[in-house]
Amino acid sequence: MLRTHTCGQINLDDVGKKVMLAGWVSSIRDHGNIIFFDLRDRYGITQIVCNLPELTPELLELVNKVRQEFVIQISGSVVARSPETVNPKISTGSIEVILEDAKILNTSDALPFEIQEGENIGENIRLKYRYLDLRRDSIKENIIFRSDFTLKMREFFSSENFVEIETPILTKSTPEGARDFLVPSRLNPGSFYALPQSPQLFKQMLMISGFDRYYQIARCFRDEDLRSDRQPEFTQVDIEMSFIEEQDIMDISERLIKYSVEKTSNIKVDVPFPRLTYKKAIEKYGTDKPDIRFGMEIIELSESMANSGSSIIESVLQEGGRVKGLLIENGESISIKDVDNFNEFVKQKGGKGIGWIRFRENEIASPIKKSLKEQTIKNLRESLKITPGSLLFFLGGETSWVCNILGEMRTEIAKKLNLVKEEIFKFLWVVDFPLFEINPDEDRIQCVHHPFTSPQYDDIDTLDKDPLKIKSRAYDLVLNGIEIGGGSIRIHQRKLQEKIFSILGMKPEEYNEKFGFLLDALGYGAPPHGGLAFGLDRMVMILRNEESIRETIPFPKTQKGVCLLSGAPSPVDRKQISDLHIKVDFQTKQ
């Protein structure tokens, strides 16, 4: 070993010991006859003291050569610091090591940015030199947290009798869903593997095999555009169980999260998590992933605004639409400009604009003040228990359109008014999703989750009578307004699965070609089963209070899907292409 201790380990108990340390020089404070080095490794920082007059000429020369981020090995004696020189900021701050010998294990070029936390460094430069960025505290702590967190999850799974099983990375492309990453097959000209969007079908196979409790911390791949919470490759904590119902999956998920979160942080997780139906979520929050850290729910105003005197409102109601609104209690901090922006937003979404009323002590302000009836104002004040300074937005139109817009406004206003002040963590199950929805672009029916999700309906023969009315046995887990997990009870009967495929518009030849292996497998005694998957990167992001998933991934990609460290993706040799029996159809730009 090149060291007897780590740089975060030595304390007052070690005073008097001879120690050997190795690490990176993170700070050099040169006082002429005395030099202090901060020696850093993964575990912490230890101050090394060089009393130059006491050093041999060789050692003196070496010490003078040392620069930031050199890798050095030192040996010396641990001494207690005098009280006035104790540094309470570091764990080893009450001791220091008096240098007796040293060796430069490696030098370092001048750095592209400072390792010490301080100014925010541009992300492009951080990603290019990610190995240096990862020496910095905040990102390093995130990566270590991620490891601790998954370890606790594994502990939990193990204690609950789960089996961890790996599934293929080179697998079969399946239609629908996200765009696949494809891998050409050299041995099978013209055929392609796809990287898995999730291990969905394999974990169902494992249930059929009898591994009734499976989990995997699985890498998944989706070739879609990136966002601050989306990367083309990401990690799911994937779970599947047999002989269970929704309640069992939710229960084990809650216990898993409680265990792993509470063992790795100071965050308290209250279980069970509240549940909200999809319908209620849309009605109250305008989204299927509501942030319930604050109220300001969407309110129904159709009745109270019915005879308000506003012609727009009345025509909306006559056409069968609804009027809904948001009541902002300290609405004075929403400026005219903000209101204009919301108005513009609504127009972009195809509306006529947003209505609003500011309630003051004895008067109101509103663009439709003149036409608004006294009685309407009075009713609103009473029924909504309005306090002076409140701002009421209202919007009329088709219900889901109205809810959707108000939902987005709700999030925006909460951000503006800083309604979420403290760090809190509100988990929420959203249940009773519809099984199908209409894809408006292609005017066809598609699954809200995936086609293996079981309906809340067991009459196979009448399933296609009114498929849009049927609910699914799916559930999503939402944390602070971000979807962090989702799952369902699956279809375990061949006939039902075939029926679903046919409702989706697939002919038997088509579903047999694409999903024949699943249908065959369901035919050999598939047990009732279900599961869910968590987005690990997103969970870590939220728990660490980060704005981007990239702060939880050691080597993430940029918005254009490029790895700035390695340069991937990159052109390849002609030979490599021809071996794969493919041609590149791309005009290189001149």
Partner RNA sequence: GGGGCCGUAGUUCAGCGGAUUAGAAUGCCGGACUGUCGAUCCGGAGGUCGCGGGUUCGAACCCCGUCGGCCCCGCCA
Q: By CB under 7 A, what part of segment 417-456 binds RNA?
A: 441, 446-451
> How many angstroms separate the CA atoms of 548 and 540, rounded?
10
Q: Does residue 240 belong to the site contacting RNA (CB under 7 A)?
A: no
Specify whether the CB–CB gap between 192 and 250 falls below 8 A: no
Nearest-approach distance from CB 447 to RNA, in angstroms: 5
CB 435 within 8 A of CB 463: no
**Cα gap 486→19, rounded to integer Å:** 51
Which among 534, 448, 533, 531 is positioned nearest to 245, based on CA atoms? 531
Note whether 91 binds RNA by CB under 7 A.
Answer: no
- Residue among 437, 435, 433 nearest 496 (CA): 435
CA distance 156 to 150: 10
Residue 344 near RNA by CB under 7 A: no
Contact between 77 and RNA per CB under 7 A: no
Work out whether 114 is an interface residue with RNA (CB under 7 A). Answer: yes
Minimal distance, residue 590 CB to RNA, in Å: 11
Rounded to a whole number of angstroms, the minimum distance from the CB of residue 243 to RNA is: 23
Shortest Cβ distance from residue 18 to RNA (Å)?
17
Report the residue from 226, 269, 445, 565 that binds RNA according to the rule CB under 7 A: 226
Q: Is 179 annotated as a binding residue?
A: no
Identify which of residues 30 and 100 has a Cβ nearer to RNA in the complex.
Answer: 30
Question: Does the footprint of RNA cover residue 558 (CB under 7 A)?
Answer: yes
- Contact flag: residue 277 with RNA (CB under 7 A): no
Neighbours of 299 (CB within 10 A): 18
Instruction: Check residue 482 for interaction with RNA (CB under 7 A).
Output: no
From residue 11 to residue 30, the character string flagging contacts with RNA as x (rule: CB under 7 A) and all else as - is ----------------x-xx
Structure tokens at 182: 């494809």
Scan residues 151-210 and list those touching RNA (CB under 7 A): 174, 176-179, 197-198, 200
Q: Does 566 bind RNA (CB under 7 A)?
A: no
Binding mask 516-555 for RNA (x = CB under 7 A): -------------------------------xx-x-----
Residue 574 known to bind ligand: no
Q: Is 270 annotated as a binding residue?
A: no
- The yes or no reply on residue 227 touching RNA (CB under 7 A) is yes
DSSP string, 354-375: -EEEEE-SS-EE-TTTTTS-HH
231 marked among binding-site residues: yes
CA 79 to chain CA mean position, Å: 46
* Candidate list 111, 163, 271, 572; residue touching RNA; CB under 7 A: 111
Long-range contacts of 462-471 (CB under 8 A, 24+ apart): 463/496, 463/499, 463/500, 463/503, 464/499, 464/502, 464/503, 467/435, 467/436, 467/503, 468/434, 468/436, 468/437, 468/438, 469/434, 470/434, 470/435, 470/436, 471/432, 471/433, 471/434, 471/435
Closer by beta carbon to RNA, 67 or else 154: 67
Q: For residue 242, state whether it binds RNA (rule: CB under 7 A).
A: no
**Number of CB atoms found within 10 A of residue 401's CB:** 17
CB closer to RNA out of 53 and 190: 53
Measuring CA to CA, which residue among 97, 88, 82 is closest to residue 22? 97
DSSP assignment of 62-83 equals HHHH--TT-EEEEEEEEEEPPG
Which residue's CB is nearer to RNA, number 56 or number 124? 124
Residues 121-140 contacting RNA, CB under 7 A: 121-125
Nearest CA to 257 out of 454, 532, 29 is that of 532
Which of these ranges, 7-15, 85-93, 291-299, 369-377, lies near RNA under the rule CB under 7 A? 85-93
Q: What is the 3-state secondary structure (H, E, C) of 222-246?
A: CCCCCECCECCEEEEEEEEEECCCH
449 annotated as ligand-binding: yes
Which is nearest to 98 in space by CA: 110, 81, 113? 81
Given the rule CB under 7 A, which of 84-92, 207-215, 258-266, 356-364 is the region that contacts RNA?
A: 84-92
Q: 71 vs 312, which CB is nearer to RNA?
A: 71
Phi/psi-derived region of residue 389, left when phi > 0, alpha when psi is between -120 and 50, beta in every other case: left
Assigned token pair, 310: 């506003």
Nearer to RNA, 461 or 547 (CB): 547
E strands present in 243-354:
275-277, 299-300, 322-328
Q: Closer CB to RNA, residue 84 or residue 466? A: 84
| SS3 of the chain: helix, strand, coil, percent, to 5 | 30, 25, 45
C-beta of 104 vs 226, nearer to RNA:
226
Task: Please report how close the Cβ of residue 313 comes to RNA at its closest, in angstroms.
Answer: 27
Look at the block and give the residue holding tokens 């740089």: 7
- CB atoms < 10 A from the CB of 23, how many? 27
224 scored as a contact of RNA (CB under 7 A): yes
Who contacts 182 (Cβ-Cβ below 8 Å, separation ≥6)?
A: 173, 192, 193, 194, 195
| 422 carries a ligand binding annotation | no
* Residue 214: strand, helix, or coil: strand
Per CB under 7 A, does 39 bind RNA? no
Comparison of 216 and 308: residue with beta carbon closer to RNA: 216
d(CA 320, CA 560): 44
Pick between residue 68 and residue 265 the one whose CB is nearest to RNA: 68
Query: Per-residue DSSP letters for 151-188?
Result: HHHHHHHHHTT-EE----SSB---SSSSPPPEEE-SSS
Choice between 2 and 170, CB closer to RNA:
170
Binding-site member from 230, 381, 494, 544 for RNA (CB under 7 A): 230
Residue 70 engages RNA in binding (rule: CB under 7 A): no
Question: Does 564 help bind RNA (rule: CB under 7 A)?
Answer: yes
Separation CA 476–CA 244 (nearest Å): 17
Q: Which residues are part of a known binding site?
A: 176, 222-224, 231, 449, 483, 490, 535-538
Q: Which residues are part of a known binding site for ATP?
A: 222-224, 231, 483, 535-538
Question: Which residues of the chain form contacts with RNA (CB under 7 A)?
Answer: 27, 29-34, 36, 38, 47, 49, 51, 53, 67-68, 81-82, 84-87, 89-90, 93, 96, 110-114, 116, 118-125, 174, 176-179, 197-198, 200, 222, 224-230, 441, 446-451, 547-548, 550, 558-560, 562, 564
Q: Which residues are part of a known binding site for L-aspartate?
A: 176, 222, 449, 490
